[in-house]
Structure 1
Amino acid sequence: MQVHRLGGPGDFDPLLGLASRARVVMLGEASHGGYDYYRLREQLTRRLIVECGFNFVAVEGDWPDCDRVHQSVISAPGGDSDPQLALERFERWPTWMWANAEVARFCRWLRAWNLERPESDRVGFHGLDVYSLWESMHAIFEYLGDDDQEALAAAREAYRCFEPYGQQVEEYGLASRFVSASCEDEVVRLLGAIRARATTDGAATGGEPTSGADRFAAWQNAEVVAGAERYYRAMVAGGPQSWNIRDIHMADTLDRLLDRYGPDTRAVVWAHNTHIGDARATDMADAGMINIGQLARERHGAEAVALIGFGGYQGSVVAAPRWGAPAEIMTVPPARPGSIEERLHRMLPERALLVLAHGDRPAWLNEPAEHRAIGVVYDPSFEEWGNYVPTRLAERYDGFIWCDQTTALHELPANAEPGELETYPAGT
C-alpha cells in the first residue's frame, strides 16, 4: 500500500498512474450529500479527461434527466446553453444527488472543454439508473412520432398496461404479486421493436432518417422501461433480487455506452461506494447481492478496472430524515470505534490518498472491518447500530481517498417529486 498526502488536484498523480491501464475508472462516495467527495471526484475526473483521454462520465442517475445534461455539455442543437439549467430540472427525489453546485461546476467546465473540440471528440455525461419508467416512456413516444406504426403500437400497449398505476409504479409491483398483473410481455415487444429500429437509419420506417445518437437514446429508454418493470416486480418480494436487477441494468448500460463510443473508449463512473466497491469483499455477497464494481471486474478483467472508494471520519452531510422528506444539513458524528474510518483517523493526515493495489499492505486491510455508508435517508443517532458495511478494504477497492473532516454539499433549487423506494443500504 502507498499513502500520499492529498492537498490539491496535482496530488492525484499516483491514482492517474493506476488509471493509466484502466478502461473503466469508478469513483465512489461515502454519502450522496458530501461536498468533499463530490469536489475531489470532480478534480480527479477532470484530470482523467484531460490527461488520460477518458470519453464519457456515467453516473448513478436517470437516463432522461442526465441526457438533458449530456445535450448541454456537448452543445447539441436544442440543448441548454448552461448545464445548470438542465440540472435544476431534475425532479425525482432526492434531487440534491445531481442538482447541486458541485456537479454544476463540473458540467460547466466540461461544456467549455468540449467546445474547444470537434463534435466527434466531445466527452459525454450519461445516467445509468433504472427508475425513470414514465419519463423513458414519454421519450420513446417523442422519438417514434407517427412514422413507425409497429413500434408505436408496441409502445401504446406498454403504456396502457402501466397506465392504471399512474405515476406510483411501485403499485404495479404490488399488483404483479397479488393479482398476477404483469406488463412483461408488452415491455418485451416494445424493447424488441425499438432495438430493431435502432439498427436502421430511420428511412426504412418511411420517416426522416434519425441520428445514431437519437436511436441509441431511444434504445436505452426502452431498456430502462424493461429494467424498471423487472425491478418493481422484484421489489415487493424483498430480498436481494431488486438490488441485483438495478446494478445489472447499470452495468449493462455502461457496456452499451462503451460499445456505442467505440473499441478504445474509456469511462469514468460516479456512484456510491456501495455500488462501485466490489461486493465480494463485503457482507453483501453473503446476502446474494452483486454490484457494478464486481460486474465490471468480472466482465472487463480486474486489470482494466480501477475502483476508487471514498471515506471520512466526521463532519456534515445533506440527507433526509425519512423517505421523501426535505433535505437537511446533518451532523455526521465521529466514526464508530474499530471501524475503518476510526483507524484511518488515527493513522492519516486530514486528506490522503491510498493506493491499495501497490506494495505491501497491513494485514488489517485484508480483514473485515466496518465501513461507513450514508444514504439519502440518514439518522445520525443510528450510528451505534447501522450505517456500516463490513468490508475487506484492500479487496473492495484499488484506491481510497480519505477526508477526515467532511462538509455538506450545496443544493440547487429543484422541484422534488417523490422518488421510488430504493434497496439496502437505504438510498445508495
Structure 2
Amino acid sequence: MAADIKHTAQTFEASAVMRLLPARPRLLALGEPTHGEDTLLDLRNELFRQLVEQEGFRTIAIESDCLRGLVVDDYVTSGRGTLDGVMERGFSHGWGASAANRELVRWMRAHNDRRPVSERVRFAGFDGPVEITGAASPRQALTALHDYLADRVNADLLPCTADTLDRLLGADDRWTDPAAMMNPSASVGQSVQARELRLLADDLAALLDAQAPHLRTPAASRDDLDRARQYGRTAVGLLRYHFWMADTSPGRMARMVGLRDQMMADSLLAVAERGPALVHAHNAHLQRAKSTMRMGGLPVEWWSAGALVSALLGREYAFLATALGTLRHRGVDTPPPDAVEGLLYALPDHRYVVDASRLATALGDTRPAARVSPWYGYAPLDPEHLAGLDGIVFVKDVPRA
C-alpha cells in the first residue's frame, strides 16, 4: 500500500494542483487546519504567485473582514496609504501582525506597479465583520450604502434619510458588547430600532438591485458598484446576525455560525465574478461536507461557505484541504501511522499535493483512523471527507515561527 500511496503525491506547485482538477475553477479554495502559522501562509503565498504568473489568476480572498479588506485592495491596486497602515487597518483577527500576510501585500503592490488595470491582482476579505467574541456595528455598511445611492438616484426613492439611520443606529458600543455572544439579553439585535434597521437595509439593498441599469452604465465605476453591493450584503447579513445573537432558542449558536458562513459564501460568489481566484481560510469554512464544532460543551453543525458555493458553482469550485504531520510547539506530535496524516507522513518529502481520489483508491477497503488532536486549535483531517476533496496539501512539519 505504501508504494500506491506514494504514487498519489506530487511536488507542491501550481501546475500539479491544476492537473488534479476536472475543470478550470473560478474559485480554487485552499484550506488550513489551524490558524496563525506563517509556514502555511508562506505556502499559500507561493501558490498564489504561481497561479498569477502561470495560470492567469487575478484575485486572492482570505478569511478576514470584507470591509477592512477594501483598505488592502486600495493599497495593492493603486498604492493608496502605506504598508504599515494597511497592515494595521486592513485585516481582522489580528492577522495584520503576520509576516507572511505582510509579504503577500508587499508582493501584490510590487506586482501591480506600472501594470495596466487588466493585469493587476486584487485582494478581498470574504469574512463578515464578526469575531468569535461578537460582531461589528452595521453603521459602516449601512451608511456607505446609503451614501452611494443618495449620490446616484432620486431622493424620493430612498427609504430613509441619513439622519434616520444615525438615530436608529445609536452608539456603536451598543452593538459590539462582547457579553452578547454568550448572553442574548445583552444584544440589541431584536430591539425596535434594530428591527426597523433590518427593513431599511433590505429596502436599500433592493433599491441597489432595482437601479442596476442606471448604475451599470459604461461611464459608471464597476468598483464603486461592487463595493456598494458588498456594503448591502454586509449590512443585511450583520443585522440578521445581530438578530440571532439576541435569540434564546436552542438553535441560536447554529444559526449564528451558519449565518457567518452564508455571508462568506455571498462574498465568494461576488469574487468569482472577477475571474479565477485563490481562496484561503480554515478547512471548516471551505469543505463540502457539513462542518461541526463544540461550543459551550455542545455540538454545533452548519453548512460551510465552501459547501454553499460548491452547490451553486459545481465543478467551478475546487477545494484542497491542508493536512499536517507535526505542530510540536502546540503539542501535536508525530501522527498515528494508521491515520491519513500518518500514512502521508511516511512519505519522504516535506510537502506535496496529493490526489485525494487516487488516495482513496489506494486505501481500498482500509478505513484510516481519525486522528485526535491534543490541542483545540488544530483540526485533523476527517478521513470520512476524502471523497469531497479535490486534493490534499500535506506539510510534514510546521515549526514554531
Query: Displacement of 1:356 after TM fit?
Result: 1.4
Query: Displacement of 1:95 after TM fit?
Result: 0.8
Native 8 Å contact 1:366 1:393 kept in 2: no
Native 8 Å contact 1:55 1:267 kept in 2: yes
Which deviates more from structure 2 when the two are superposed, residues 192-201 or residues 269-278? 192-201
Which runs of 5 or more structure 1 residues have no equivalent in the other structure?
Answer: 317-329, 374-379, 410-428
* Corresponding letter in the other structure for 1:32: H
* Corresponding letter in the other structure for 1:15: V
Give 2:199's aligned residue: 188
- Is residue 78 of structure 2 the alignment partner of residue 75 of structure 1? yes
Give 2:60's aligned residue: 57
* Corresponding letter in the other structure for 1:225: A
Native 8 Å contact 2:339 2:368 kept in 1: no
Q: State TM-score, norm by structure 1.
A: 0.73
* Corresponding letter in the other structure for 1:306: A
% identity of equivalent residues? 22
Alignment CA distance shift 1:348-1:245 (3 Å): farther
In the alignment, the residues of structure 1 paired with residue 73 and residue 304 of structure 2 have an alpha-carbon distance, to the nearest angstrom, of 25
Query: Displacement of 1:393 after TM fit?
Result: 3.9
Alignment CA distance shift 1:343-1:125 (3 Å): same
Give 2:133's aligned residue: none
Alignment CA distance shift 1:169-1:127 (3 Å): farther
Give 1:24's aligned residue: 27
Query: Displacement of 1:16 after TM fit?
Result: 2.5
Alignment CA distance shift 1:129-1:360 (3 Å): closer
Native 8 Å contact 1:258 1:266 kept in 2: yes
Give 1:351's aligned residue: 351
Native 8 Å contact 1:5 1:349 kept in 2: no
Give 1:312's aligned residue: 324
In the alignment, the residues of structure 1 paired with residue 128 and residue 372 of structure 2 have an alpha-carbon distance, to the nearest angstrom, of 25
Match of 1:14 among 16, 38, 43: 16
Query: Displacement of 1:114 after TM fit?
Result: 2.1
3-state secondary structure, aligned to 2:361:
coil
Alignment CA distance shift 1:290-1:141 (3 Å): same
Give 1:125's aligned residue: 123
In the alignment, the residues of structure 1 paired with residue 323 and residue 375 of structure 2 have an alpha-carbon distance, to the nearest angstrom, of 19
In the alignment, the residues of structure 1 paired with residue 368 and residue 165 of structure 2 have an alpha-carbon distance, to the nearest angstrom, of 46
Match of 1:101 among 99, 102, 109: 99
3-state secondary structure, aligned to 2:330:
strand
* Corresponding letter in the other structure for 2:332: P
Query: Displacement of 1:71 after TM fit?
Result: 0.6
Give 2:36's aligned residue: 33
Query: Displacement of 1:344 after TM fit?
Result: 2.8
Give 1:4's aligned residue: 9
Native 8 Å contact 1:365 1:392 kept in 2: no
* Corresponding letter in the other structure for 1:65: R
- Is residue 260 of structure 2 the alignment partner of residue 268 of structure 1? no
**Aligned-pair RMSD on alpha carbons?**
3.7
Query: Displacement of 1:278 after TM fit?
Result: 1.6
Query: Displacement of 1:279 after TM fit?
Result: 2.2
Give 1:423's aligned residue: none
* Corresponding letter in the other structure for 2:52: I
Native 8 Å contact 1:313 1:405 kept in 2: yes
In the alignment, the residues of structure 1 paired with residue 139 and residue 365 of structure 2 have an alpha-carbon distance, to the nearest angstrom, of 44
Give 2:86's aligned residue: 86
Native 8 Å contact 1:366 1:392 kept in 2: no
In the alignment, the residues of structure 2 paired with residue 108 and residue 370 of structure 1 have an alpha-carbon distance, to the nearest angstrom, of 39
Q: Deviations over 1:276-299 (max 9, x none)?
A: 12224x667x96410122122211
* Corresponding letter in the other structure for 1:291: S
In the alignment, the residues of structure 2 paired with residue 210 and residue 232 of structure 1 have an alpha-carbon distance, to the nearest angstrom, of 33
- Is residue 340 of structure 2 the alignment partner of residue 333 of structure 1? no
3-state secondary structure, aligned to 1:107:
helix
Query: Displacement of 1:81 after TM fit?
Result: 4.8
In the alignment, the residues of structure 1 paired with residue 269 and residue 225 of structure 2 have an alpha-carbon distance, to the nearest angstrom, of 17
Query: Displacement of 1:400 after TM fit?
Result: 1.1
Which runs of 5 or more structure 2 residues have no equivalent in the other structure?
Answer: 130-135, 294-298
Q: State TM-score, norm by structure 2.
A: 0.77
Query: Displacement of 1:345 after TM fit?
Result: 2.3
Match of 2:174 among 159, 166, 172: 166
* Corresponding letter in the other structure for 1:249: M
Query: Displacement of 1:351 after TM fit?
Result: 1.7
Give 1:252's aligned residue: 266
Query: Displacement of 1:191 after TM fit?
Result: 4.0
3-state secondary structure, aligned to 1:109:
helix
* Corresponding letter in the other structure for 2:199: V
- Is residue 221 of structure 2 the alignment partner of residue 222 of structure 1? no
Alignment CA distance shift 1:27-1:390 (3 Å): closer
Give 1:395's aligned residue: 387
Aligned pairs for 1:408-423 within 5 A: 408-409=400-401
